[in-house]
């Protein structure tokens, strides 16, 4: 299963993060096996989820897992899966859905947690710039 995930483009770091283990643990599994039952289930669940998402919607599944759900909020499908919420990953992929509802199901306080005091705006020269929000 690890080789299949690697073939899909997942890094050992991302696999470890989604399963809640260390990178050395994933490397050890790759060399000598010894994956616990729970981790085997999680690996199989991730592969099955990738299969469901990849076929109809996404071609580069590993890159898709790394993309934030919405700009400015650093929550990705990797984060959702790491919190044992494959249902939210699937909902996000297969939509149509309200991404804000998905974020609220994942972290009810996401608006406060990821609030920024800065904004991007178009300056007089037509270029994008950043400034502190006015209160």
CA atoms 130, 131, 132, 135: torsion sign:
negative
Rounded Cα distance, 58 and 61, in Å: 6
Q: What is the pLDDT confidence band of residue 10, given thresholds at 50, 70 and 90?
A: very high
Q: What is the pLDDT of residue 112?
A: 86
The domain total for the chain is: 1
What pLDDT is recorded for position 121?
86
pLDDT in tens, 76-133: 999 999 999 999 999 998 877 789 999 999 999 998 888 878 888 899 999 999 888 8
Q: Given this model, what pLDDT does residue 111 score?
A: 87
Q: Say if residues 74 and 114 touch (Cβ distance below 8 Å).
A: yes
| pTM, full prediction | 0.81
The whole-number pLDDT of residue 95 equals 78
Query: Using one digit for the tens of pLDDT, what is the confidence trace for 31-78?
Result: 887 888 899 999 999 999 999 888 767 889 999 999 999 988 999 999
Predicted confidence at residue 135, as pLDDT, reads 67
The Cα 66–Cα 36 span in angstroms is 26
Would you state the pLDDT for residue 77? Answer: 97
Residue 120 bridge partners (DSSP): 130
Query: Residue 127's domain spans which residues?
Result: 2-132
pLDDT for 54 equals: 81
């Amino acid at each position: 299963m690890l080789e299949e995930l690697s073939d899909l483009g997942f890094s050992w770091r991302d696999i470890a993060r989604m399963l809640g283990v260390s990178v050395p643990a994933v490397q050890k599994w790759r060399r000598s096996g010894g994956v616990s039952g729970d981790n085997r289930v999680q690996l199989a669940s991730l592969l099955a989820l990738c299969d469901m998402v990849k076929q109809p919607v996404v071609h580069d599944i590993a890159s898709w897992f790394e993309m934030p759900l919405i700009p400015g909020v650093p929550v990705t499908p990797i984060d959702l899966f790491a919190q044992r919420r494959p249902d939210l990953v699937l909902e996000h992929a297969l939509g149509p859905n309200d991404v804000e509802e998905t974020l609220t199901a994942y972290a009810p306080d996401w608006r406060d947690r990821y609030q920024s005091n800065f904004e991007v705006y178009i300056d007089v020269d037509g270029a994008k710039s950043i400034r502190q929000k006015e209160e």
